[in-house]
Amino acid sequence: MEKIDRIFYRKINPSDFKKLYDIDKPTTGGGQTYIEAAGISYDSIVDFLSIAEKADSKSDQRYTYTAKAYTLGDIEQLENLEFAPRTNRSNYKISRQTLRQKHPAWSPQNGFPVPNTDPITGAYTSNGNFVGIIDDLVILIIRTTYCRYYASFINTPTMPAGWPTGIGLESLFSGERRGIINFDRYRVEFINNASNPFGTIVKIPLEYNTGLIPKNAAKYNHIIFGAPGTGKSYTLNENRKLMSILDSDFERVTFHADYSYAQFVGTYKPVTESTGDISYKFVPGPFMRILKKAYANIIDAYDITSGRIDTTKIKPFLLLIEEINRAHTAAVFGEVFQLLDRNDDGISEYEIQPSVEIKEYLCENLGGTPDEYTSIKLPNNMFIWSTMNSADQGVFPMDTAFKRRWDFKYIGVDEEEFYVEENPNSGQKTARENQGGEFTIAGDSIEWNVLRRAINAKLSNAILRVHEDKLMGPFFLKTMDKNGNIIINNDEFINLFCNKVLMYLFEDAAKTKRAQLFSGCQDKDKLNRYSYICKEFRDKGVTIFGNDFLMKEYQEQYLEREQAKTDAELSTQEKVL
């Protein structure tokens, strides 16, 4: 069954009407011959034209679209409609709509209004400015699920008898009378009838329980935290791959001290219209964009015949928040905080009443009317994962009520140290370091991962007693690419170590314990100088951490690292068995 899924509509003004009938056209030729699609957002018009033929524009980076459009009620009358970008304007135009070239749906033979004529010359005239002729004239272009367009018009101040109410058609007869109506929330049967193209209508309910069963028992609201460099982002990215979440179905956002509700959820922002006027438009944030995609997936998966969601069409959607505690979470989440309380099915336990602008945004993108979005919940095909670094300075504390709505997982400093490869022929498993490599420093051959472990061992000994949150994970320095290839040379490693590791130890982890950590430095009076410690490292290498550092902490951690590799390989084999 052919169904209507979009309707483009545009009220015709006197200037448009003149073009359609070549009125007041310059005698020397030229003049505008198009109808502007002004007042309709770029995203909406591109979505509407997504099934049309597209081509590169001559002087614009945007595409020019050609839609083969039938005349509503008469498929024998067929003509192309070209939508081209306006030069130096944000909107599109419908090209070449003149007396001879306009679409046949907008011609007198199909009942389209006709201007008055001059009593002497018989030519069309603009006298009276078309009052009483085009007061309620609106052109329509209907798009259907059969990838067809149908052109038509209405010329009435009220909805015709027999037209369905409550599905968004009211906007054709009120306000500015221009835009695109989205019918994603309905299955509207298309009837090729000029007076009433609307057949049977089925409303698509917005279900929150999609039937999705998360792979690997993935959590809906999940926070991973741990020391710097423990691979928090890496872990979530690997989990995303295990969930088969597509790049187009997730967004990553990083919180910071100035991050706000307006950025996260959305807000009105000033937008310059094609006329040069400033108007305000709701611009959604990452939370609302992902929620809209999750809703759209549910609507698309609804099967009218069975009256149920086709679970094979349901996909997971992910909002990934980096450094969640760097922002004031209560202020950033606002009323959305209430949605995080989920039941056993992964659905929000309590709904919230969205603002007017959010209801209008959902209506525009999902179809229906704003009244259908008076309350919303998180569906169970939407996941929110986050990283949190509790060791950082300048972070905001999270209150207990906020924390209890999340599942927390702590990553130890050595937890993501290895990944295990399996030989496809022999089945032999080999543990490899996620970040490692061997480098020469002041004549000594040093492995980064062992050095990291050794520094951590000294930081956490009975003398320094540095908390685990201040230690360093294997990802603190990036020394390898994803294929295990070393990507830096000796000099680059030394520079990277000075600029990242020594800076972190000097400014943060061992700020009050420099004398104990850098016990191998000769001049104790200069330990408050970062440049001095870097110079000592370049000259002496890792002995800045103590004259016995290589033979003690480094050697001990070398042996522990080797044992950890063996344990990782055995652990993987046991899981298989």
β-bridge pairing 308-309 and 302-303: antiparallel
Question: Facing residues of 297 across strands?
Answer: none
Which among 462, 342, 347 is positioned nearest to 405, based on CA atoms? Answer: 342
Each residue's pLDDT expressed in tens, for the chain with a length of 577 residues: 899 999 999 999 999 999 999 998 887 766 789 999 988 888 899 999 999 999 999 888 899 999 999 999 999 999 999 999 988 888 899 999 999 999 999 999 999 999 999 999 999 999 989 999 999 999 999 999 999 999 999 999 999 999 999 899 999 999 999 999 999 999 999 999 999 999 999 989 899 999 999 988 899 999 999 999 999 999 999 999 999 999 999 999 999 999 999 999 999 888 765 445 677 788 999 999 999 999 999 999 998 888 899 999 999 999 999 999 999 999 999 999 999 999 999 999 999 999 999 999 999 899 888 889 999 999 999 999 999 987 665 567 888 899 999 999 999 999 989 988 888 888 888 999 999 999 999 999 999 999 999 999 999 999 999 999 999 999 999 999 988 999 999 999 999 999 999 999 999 999 999 999 999 999 999 999 999 999 999 999 999 999 999 999 999 999 999 999 999 988 765 554 4
Q: Is the dihedral of CA 457, 460, 466, 472 positive or negative?
A: positive
How many other CB atoms are found less than 10 A from the CB of residue 209? 15
How many other CB atoms are found less than 10 A from the CB of residue 404? 10
Which among 240, 364, 353 is positioned nearest to 296, based on CA atoms? Answer: 364
The model carries a pTM of 0.80
Residue 458, H or E segment: helix 448-459
Which among 43, 61, 85 is positioned nearest to 284, based on CA atoms? Answer: 43
How does 448-473 read in b/e, with b if 16+ C-beta sit within 10 Å?
A: bbbbbbbbbbbbbeeebebeebbbbb
Distance CA 517, CA 118 (A): 98
List all residues 6 or more positions away from 221 whose beta carbon is below 8 Å from its beta carbon.
340, 342, 383, 384, 385, 405, 406, 407
In the chain, the amino acid numbered 170 is E
Provide the residue count of the chain: 577
Which among 233, 241, 222, 203 is positioned nearest to 382, based on CA atoms? Answer: 222
Grouping H, G, I as helix, E, B as strand and the rest as coil, residue 446 is strand
Residue 135 confidence (pLDDT)? 96
Distance CA 13, CA 413 (A): 68
Distance CA 386, CA 409 (A): 10
Are 66 and 81 spatial neighbours (Cβ–Cβ below 8 Å)? Answer: yes
